[in-house]
Amino acid sequence: MSIQLPPSAAPRSAYPVDLLPRTVRDRLLDLAQAATPVSAYLYDGAVAAERARELRTALPGWAAVYYAVKANSFPGVVAALAPHVDGFEVASRSELDLARGLTGTARVVAAGPAKSVPLLTALVRAGVEAINAESLLELHRISRIAVGEGTTARVALRVNPAAIPVTGSLHMGGVPSQFGVAEPDVPEVLRAAARLPGLDLVGFHVHAASGNLDAESHAAYLRWCLDWSVRTAWDNGVELRHVDIGGGIGVAFEDEKPFDVARFGELAGQAEPPPGVRVLLEPGRFLVADCGWYAAEVTDVKTSYGKRFVVLRGGINHFQLPTSWDIVHNIAVLPIERWPEGCPRPAAEDAEVTVVGELCTPEDTLLRDVRVDRVRAGDLVVFPNAGSYGWEFAMHAFLGHPVAERHLL
């Protein structure tokens, strides 16, 4: 059995500590004064709000931005985004309750490949803008629930297209998948949906993009989704009002070129939806990745057969992203001067180190072979760009260690 580890960072060096905003450094220094070892996320809601404003401003008026709550469901972050997005994309009852509790409205679309009857019932009762239906069976369930509730549910059919004729980092379409209805089966499913009494079929959900940093490619993807939806609706007698292209805007790491929001908005504006058709985007990671930092105290610095290890009070039980997504997620080292008198303080100086966690498995490795000027037991290792798929994505229960704290700046 192979062990999944993040790729080697060599020959990269750790970030300079002044890359961390002063507000982040000051809060972490305050946390380090407590007796409990630091293991925490810090979030800056203003950073997420600015990213949302930037995207919303760049897009034409017929486009709507719905934040994908799964990327970061911390209430303070979601509340900071609420005034600057058009709505929320949810995939569970808890996310639905969070979004509605913050807005008091049904500005919600719902996704997910295995929605339970209790979840579908909650979505129907909430009167959400659209339930992205994944299959014919799910359409039947939604209809039955809606009829029982004496209402009609707005649904969009999620489609797995046969091909997306654009370049860039586009995935999740044209291959066998648990997501959506395969394109060849769409006409038959639409005919069946038209006969179900509890449904108002408003359009389509086509989520086939992932991690795309190419603004021109993503604009072409948007236009393709719109053209495909208009054509398919016309061919199948659907009154098209809703086209959901999913998320998929990438986040730049290290020397990657960031997504050009202004260029994307300019090119997207060249599309012309029919009157009454609204195009939804569901960004998650793009809006919140750079609003968060994960920090953990160094509990030990060890050398084993010539290799140096920095051991943290945390790990994949708190921050699993680097291992699961096969990325180099670099760090900064924040020096902490307080240390018990007379206690040895192991350190690594001008050395290549591997950063590991507190779990009893070699898979608990967050960063390999990064060069540091100095790191000591008691210092804090800080991962920037940890605002998305961080706390929510971690293995909280494994070994039963305390979960990471979360703080809003």
Convert the pLDDT of each residue in 5-61 to its tens digit. Answer: 899 999 999 999 999 999 999 999 999 999 899 999 999 999 999 999 999 999 999
Q: What is the mean pLDDT of the segment spanning 216-243?
A: 96
Write down the pLDDT at residue 27: 98
pLDDT tens digits, one per residue of 87-120:
999 999 999 999 998 877 669 999 999 999 999 9
Average the pLDDT over 56-75 and give the result: 96
**Record: fold of 17-44+289-408:** Lyase, Ornithine Decarboxylase; Chain A, domain 1 (2.40.37)
Q: Are 158 and 178 in contact (CB under 8 A)?
A: no
Domain boundaries, given as residue ranges, for the chain: 17-44+289-408, 45-288
Say what the pLDDT of residue 174 is.
67
Judge whether 290 and 252 are in contact, CB under 8 Å.
no
Q: Given this model, what pLDDT does residue 208 score?
A: 81
pLDDT at 168: 58
Residue 1 has pLDDT above 60, yes or no: no
pLDDT at 2: 62
The answer, yes or no, to whether residue 144 has pLDDT greater than 60, is yes
pLDDT at 185 over 80: yes
State mean pLDDT over 220-246: 96
> What pLDDT band is residue 382 in, cutting at 50, 70 and 90?
very high
Q: Is the separation of the CB atoms in 366 and 323 below 8 Å?
A: yes
CATH class of segment(s) 45-288: alpha beta
pLDDT of 262-293, one tens digit each?
999 999 999 999 999 999 999 999 999 999 99
Q: Which pLDDT value is given to residue 103? A: 72
Residue 360 catalytic? yes
Determine the pLDDT at residue 158. 96
Provide the pLDDT for residue 171: 59
Let me know if the fold of 17-44+289-408 is the same as that of 45-288: no
Residue 212 has pLDDT above 60, yes or no: yes
